[in-house]
């Protein structure tokens, strides 16, 4: 079972488990970003995505239940000279702000089905009108590959799950398939993912 303590353990030490560079799919969305947008990176771990969003001039917040991860996120932000707000919270218990964010980055956050439903509903509520949700997560086709992702298949995402949990959002991009990951020691090689860009009306 995934716990905050297990993630604290993984994040202890100097290495960045998923690298210091942002997720490539998120970076490809740069043309959709405007300075001053309010951004939330959920399950942001060591902060690579929140820090990159801050570097693009966004007002960025990283939330994660690992205090160790977010300590490293703040250190990374300080090294890069950008402001980053951080919040240590369990996504299933957090009081998600209402209609607050113009962009939510949900990158490789895999939760058990009940928790996933709670967190996805929270993210939906937290999107401001016109707000974007950018997601990349592993799919069931990833089973057996060693390029990353949870061992428990119940935690995996799919295109159908994205459509179900985020019904009502406009689909700008929604693709399932193989990509090559090169993100720190934990995400290396060919991987099966779902990638989505969704917009609240
Ligand atoms: C695979 S890591 C991805 C980290 C980051 N999004 C990235 O791409 O570098 C998954 C992250 O989700 C966080 N996480 C998992 N379950 C969580 C929960 N219930 N509440 C808050 N964070 C959670 C973990 O602590 C971890 O940092």
Residue 156 sits at φ, ψ, to 5 deg, of -75, 150
CATH number, domain 4-199 = 3.40.50.150
Closest C-alpha to 196, from 159, 149, 147, 160: 159
- Domain locations in the chain as residue ranges: 4-199
Q: Which of 45, 89, 152 to mutate to test the pocket of ligand 1 (most atoms within 8 A of CB)?
A: 45
Query: For the segment 18-30, what is each residue's pLDDT rounded down to a tens digit?
Result: 999 999 999 999 9
The Å distance, Cα 167 to ligand 1 centre, comes to: 23
The Å distance, Cα 161 to ligand 1 centre, comes to: 18
Has this prediction a pTM greater than 0.95? yes
Could you tell me the sign of the dihedral formed by the alpha carbons of 104, 48, 87, 80, in that order? negative
Element (H, E) at 165: helix 159-165
Query: For the segment 114-152, what is each residue's pLDDT rounded down to a tens digit?
Result: 999 999 999 999 999 999 999 999 999 999 999 999 999
């Amino acid at each position: 079972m995934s716990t905050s303590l297990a993630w604290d353990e993984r994040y202890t030490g100097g290495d960045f488990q998923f690298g210091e560079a942002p997720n490539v799919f998120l970076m490809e969305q740069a043309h959709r970003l405007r300075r001053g947008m309010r951004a939330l990176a959920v399950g942001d771990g060591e902060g690579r995505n929140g820090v990159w969003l801050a570097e693009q001039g966004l007002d960025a917040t990283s939330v994660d239940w690992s205090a160790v991860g977010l300590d490293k996120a703040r250190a990374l932000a300080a090294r890069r000279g950008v402001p980053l707000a951080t919040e240590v919270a369990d996504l299933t218990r957090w009081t998600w702000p209402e209609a607050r964010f113009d962009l939510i980055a949900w990158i490789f956050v895999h939760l058990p089905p009940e928790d996933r439903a709670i967190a996805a509903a929270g993210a939906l509520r937290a999107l401001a009108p016109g707000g974007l949700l950018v997601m990349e997560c592993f799919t069931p086709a990833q089973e057996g590959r060693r390029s990353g992702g949870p061992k428990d298949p119940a935690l995996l995402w799919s295109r159908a799950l994205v459509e179900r949990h985020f019904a009502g959002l406009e689909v700008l991009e929604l693709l399932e398939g193989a990509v090559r990951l090169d993100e720190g020691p934990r995400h290396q090689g060919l991987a099966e993912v779902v990638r989505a860009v969704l917009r609240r009306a």
